[in-house]
Amino acid sequence: MEREEFLSKLGIGALAVCMGCSLVACGSKQNDPTITNAPSPPATGSGTAFTVDLGTTLTNIGDSSTMNGIILVRIAAGNLASSFTAVQVRCTHEGAAINYNTGQSIFICPLHGSEFSQSGAVIMGPAFTALQKYTVTINGSTLTVTA
């Protein structure tokens, strides 16, 4: 084998090995454990999304509940509608389920770090579209989230 042929084959082999390492390290979105395939939220104007009993649920600031593609969070004491926020659970960047960070009082996407205010506004990207916000009403101890 000629030196030029050897180096050519060595280079192709090394490239193949490096490409394999890159593919394994990066993976694909389908295999990414941080993507949770969060459900799509209901369309605005579609009616009641869900109800919760405040006597047994969401009793502490920072408590959250996720249902029907919506994350509901208690952000203040008292059983007033303003003590809660409800936004779509899917990040507007790539659809991963967001989490509420009580210490910072913001929603954070674990996939790429997008941050959203309690009202769903984008604080930091890569997301550039706000989260859909839902209406919260309270009647006695029953909280209703409406799309």
| Residue with more model confidence, 31 or 121 | 121
Entry pTM: 0.71
pLDDT, mean of residues 58-75: 95
Alpha carbon 61 to its chain centroid, in Å, reads 20
Q: Which domain holds residue 21?
A: 1-31
pLDDT digits (tens, 9 = 90+) for 89-120: 999 999 999 999 999 999 999 999 999 999 99
- Residue 6: what pLDDT? 58
pLDDT, mean of residues 109-133: 96
**Sorting pLDDT into bands at 50, 70 and 90, what band is 66?**
very high
DSSP string, 8-35: HHHHHHHHHHHHHHHHHHH--GGG-TT-
CATH number for 81: 2.102.10.10
SS3 state of residue 5: helix
Q: What does the mean pLDDT of the chain come to?
A: 81
Q: Side-chain half-sphere of 103: how many Cα atoms within 13 Å?
A: 0
E strand or H helix that includes residue 4: helix 3-26
Same domain, 22 and 93: no
Same domain, 124 and 58: yes
As for how many domains the chain has, the answer is 2
Same domain, 22 and 71: no
Q: Does residue 41 sit within a domain?
A: no
| Residue with more model confidence, 20 or 112 | 112
Nearest to 58 by CA among 86, 90, 97, 98: 86
Q: How far apart are alpha carbons 114 and 61 in whole angstroms?
A: 22
Return the sign of the alpha-carbon dihedral for residues 84, 89, 94, 100: positive
SS (H, E, C) 97-121: ECEEECCCCEEECCCCCCEECCCCC
- Residue 131: what pLDDT? 97
Same domain, 57 and 117: yes
pLDDT over threshold 90, residue 21: no
